[in-house]
């Protein structure tokens, strides 16, 4: 009986000693997990601010936030197990293989997500800007995490993958406060050039929205095929571009008719 009690006492003492030996490792493991949870919360706040700024849908915001939290806590948990002496190599290998497979399956989605990060940090355009990318153009209506929505001048919506935007040149027509209107008219060769100067200068002088600086550019651009090509390039504020463009086109037409000036062909260079 005494021998049995002594044996149980020895086992208990060994268990207590083992517990106190492992206690620092348990504390470090708990602290590691706690730090992981804190970091996950910080990342959640940062992602929430960023995604709402991008006007992403609620579903996308929830998915990305939950995914980031799970990944961070999972990494912290693996680190904690490693600190306790548990072999996590095979577990990490399984997670790595699963992540690699998911990455291959959703390669395009991840590319669009990465492109949205580029748009976020470099800001090539913002909501309301008028852009052209790979023959697709319109005003930026909404920027999401995987795509950008453009609204055309005839009120159509175009969904453009973000990866297409970052892999092609983007022309932002409204990022600057001034734009140049480019008019180019082809006339018969014997047209009075001085008269063309007079008409253009008078129309530009009468239009108050045309800027004085830079001054409008006027001149004969070329002479070929028995024609002369006359250019007129005034500067306006970006917001006035289309109103001034259409008004001047109508006035040029009226002046040419009134002065019996014949156009061989009209070719208007329009930079939208």
Distances (CA, A) of 150 to 6, 116, 167, 256: 82, 15, 17, 38
Query: 266 forms bridges with which residues in the sheet?
Result: 185
* 269 dihedral zone (left: phi>0; alpha: psi -120 to 50; beta): beta
Residue 152 lies in a domain: yes
Distance CA 23, CA 67 (A): 32
* pLDDT at residue 172, as a whole number: 92
Q: What is the pLDDT of residue 7?
A: 54
Is 99 within the bounds of a domain? no
Average pLDDT over residues 75-79: 75
Q: Decide which of 172, 197, 231 is a domain's last residue.
A: 172
Region 14-31: what's the mean pLDDT?
A: 63
pLDDT band at 269 (very low <50, low <70, confident <90, very high): very low
CATH classification at residue 37: 1.10.287
The pLDDT of residue 171 is: 92
Query: Residue 201 corresponds to which tokens in the numbers above?
Result: 């200068």
At residue 259, the pLDDT reads 93
Range of the domain at 7: 1-86
pLDDT of residue 54: 61
Q: Tell me: do 130 and 188 sit in the same domain.
A: no
2 and 56 part of one domain: yes
**Is 166 in the same domain as 200?**
no
- pLDDT of 194 > 80? The answer is yes
Which of 27-36, 61-70, 179-188 is the least confident region?
61-70
CATH code of the domain in which 248 resides: 3.30.70.100
Burial 114-123 (b: 16+ CB within 10 A, else e): ebbeebeeee
245 compared with 145, residue with greater pLDDT: 245
Distance (Å, rounded) from C-alpha 253 to C-alpha 261?
10
- Is 264 a member of any domain? no
State pTM to two decimals: 0.57
Instruction: Based on the fold, state whether residues 219 and 233 are members of the same structural domain.
Output: yes
What residues form DSSP beta bridges with 85? none
So what's the pLDDT on residue 268?
A: 45
- Would you say residue 104 lies in a domain? no
Residues 217, 177: contact at Cβ < 8 Å? no
| Residue 73 lies inside a defined structural domain of this protein | yes
- Based on the domain organization, do 150 and 126 belong to the same domain? yes
- Indicate whether 231 and 188 sit together in one domain: yes
* Least confident span in 136-145, 148-157, 189-198: 136-145
64-73, 95-104, 140-149, 156-165: the lowest-pLDDT one: 95-104
Q: What percent of the chain has a predicted confidence (pLDDT) above 70?
A: 71
Query: Do 157 and 187 share a domain, yes or no?
Result: no
Q: Which residue has the higher pLDDT, 200 or 88?
A: 200
Q: Distance of CA 60 to CAs 131, 147, 159, 231, Å? A: 25, 12, 16, 50
Residue 193 in contact with residue 228, Cβ under 8 Å? yes
Q: Is residue 267 part of a domain?
A: no
pLDDT value, residue 199: 95
Three-state SS letters, the chain = CHHHHHHHHHHHHHHHHHHHHHHHHHHHHHHHHHHHHHHHHHHHHHHHHHHHHCCCCHHHHHHHHHHHHHHHHHHHHHHHHHHCCCCCHHHHHHHHHHHHHHHHHCHHHHHHHHHHHHHHHHCCCCCCCEEEECCEEEEEEEECCCEEEEECCCCCEEEEEHHHHHCCCEEECCCCCEEECCEEEEEECCCCHHHHHHHHHHHHHHCCCECCCCCCEEEEEEEECCEEEEEEECEEEHHHHHHHHHHHHHHHHHHHHHCCCCEEEECCCCCC
- Residues 76, 59 share a domain: yes
Q: Does residue 161 sit in the same domain as residue 128?
A: yes
Counting the structural domains of the chain, the total is 3
Residues 76 and 2 in one domain: yes
């Amino acid at each position: 009986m005494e021998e049995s009690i002594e044996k149980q006492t020895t086992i208990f003492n060994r268990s207590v000693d083992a517990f106190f030996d492992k206690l620092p490792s348990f504390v470090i493991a708990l602290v590691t997990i706690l730090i992981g949870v804190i970091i996950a919360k910080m990342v959640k706040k940062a992602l929430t601010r960023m995604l709402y700024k991008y006007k992403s849908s609620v579903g996308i915001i929830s998915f990305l936030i939950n995914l980031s939290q799970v990944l961070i806590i999972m990494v912290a948990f693996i680190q904690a197990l490693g600190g306790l002496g548990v072999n996590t190599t095979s577990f990490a290998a399984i997670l790595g293989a699963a992540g690699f497979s998911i990455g291959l399956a959703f390669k395009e989605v991840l590319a669009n997500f990465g492109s949205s990060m580029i748009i976020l940090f470099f800001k090539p355009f913002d909501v309301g800007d008028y852009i052209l990318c790979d023959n697709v153009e319109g005003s930026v209506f909404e920027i999401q995490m995987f795509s950008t929505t453009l609204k055309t001048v005839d009120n159509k919506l175009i969904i453009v993958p973000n990866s297409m935007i970052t892999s092609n040149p983007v022309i932002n027509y409204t990022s600057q406060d001034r734009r140049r209107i480019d008019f180019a008219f082809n006339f018969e060769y014997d047209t009075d050039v001085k008269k063309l100067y007079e008409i253009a200068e008078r129309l530009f002088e009468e239009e108050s929205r045309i800027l004085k600086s830079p001054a409008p550019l006027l001149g004969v651009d070329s002479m070929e095929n028995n024609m002369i090509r006359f250019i007129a390039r005034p500067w306006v504020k970006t917001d006035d571009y289309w109103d001034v463009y259409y008004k001047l086109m109508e006035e040029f037409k009226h002046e040419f008719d009134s002065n019996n000036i014949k156009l061989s062909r009209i070719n208007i260079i329009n930079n939208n």
